[in-house]
Amino acid sequence: MTTPALLVLDFDGVVCQGIDEFFESSWRAWHRLRAAPLPAARRDELAARFARLRPVVESGWEMAMLPALLAARDPARDAELEDDARWATVRGDFLDDHRVTSRELADALDGARDAWLADDRDGWVAAHRFYPGIADWLRRLVLNGPPTFVLSTKDKRFLDSLLRAQAVPVPDDRVIGKATPRRAKWEVIAEIAARQAMPADGDGVWFVEDRLATLLELRRDAPKLSAMRLFLAEWGYVFPRDVERAHATAIPTLTLARATGPFTGWLAP
């Protein structure tokens, strides 16, 4: 099949670039949790380090702790956090040392975002940028493309605000945000496919994600979706080694120009 019968897009890092909002909301979230302020004089330094390490983050609660974690570490050691296993260890140690839970961090992040939206909706929206050409492409898909779903670990109300700001009329039931309790993305995709009466093996489903670990987990943990096509978005929150590893593991990668062009180009070597 050279075109998808069902298209699923990750949101952050595929549809939208929100690194400025991520850092600001994370900064504010930490201050909601702790009276001790982050070092304002180092804000630009921490923001730059935060942006470089954004690809390690899978869930919002990890972002909420990242500025504080980086403030306590030597910048020369940042590169070691690019390793998933090392990141998991450092992340866990941080939670233990600060006696904070992932739930508390997630709630603080959502609270910071909600307060920012209430005080300055335009400023919050302006801290996000849809990748070039993505909004027009989504509008075309809504009108003439296959059923297209937007999927994120971010709360749905935030996705809705951003899609409205870009005048992208994705139907409400095709915008899927954070689930409680949390579910793996492959479980959500399998449910979407079943609702769309797709084959049980996922044939015809195409999924675009910027986190290689998620794609590899999906391939490993969802053998029933063996016919689903997976794509890594090169323009998203990825390390260069992720693109190399995707090629080595036979996961196609997409440039932004190829992604927003004809679907037949997605499968070109």
Does the pLDDT value for residue 252 go beyond 90? yes
pLDDT, tens only, 76-135:
999 999 998 999 999 999 999 999 999 999 999 999 999 999 999 999 999 999 999 999
The pLDDT assigned to 224 comes to 83
> What is the DSSP annotation of 132-178?
TTHHHHHHHHHHHSS-EEEE-SS-HHHHHHHHHHTT----GGGEE--
What mean pLDDT do residues 175-183 have?
A: 82
The pLDDT assigned to 1 comes to 67
Closest CA to 158 of 175, 143, 145, 170: 175
Whether omega before 181 lies within 30 degrees of 0, making that bond cis, reads yes
DSSP letter for 188, please. H
What mean pLDDT do residues 132-146 have?
A: 96
Domain ranges of the chain: 6-17+130-267, 19-125
SS3 7: strand
Query: Residues in the chain, how many?
Result: 269
Angle value at C-alpha 88, between 240 and 219, nearest 5 degrees: 60
* Mean pLDDT over the full length of the chain: 93
Tell me the C-alpha distance between 269 and 264, whole Å: 11
Structure confidence at residue 181 as a pLDDT band (50, 70, 90): low
Does the pLDDT value for residue 7 go beyond 70? yes
Q: What CATH architecture is 6-17+130-267?
A: 3-Layer(aba) Sandwich (3.40)
The pLDDT assigned to 184 comes to 85
182 vs 233, more confident: 233
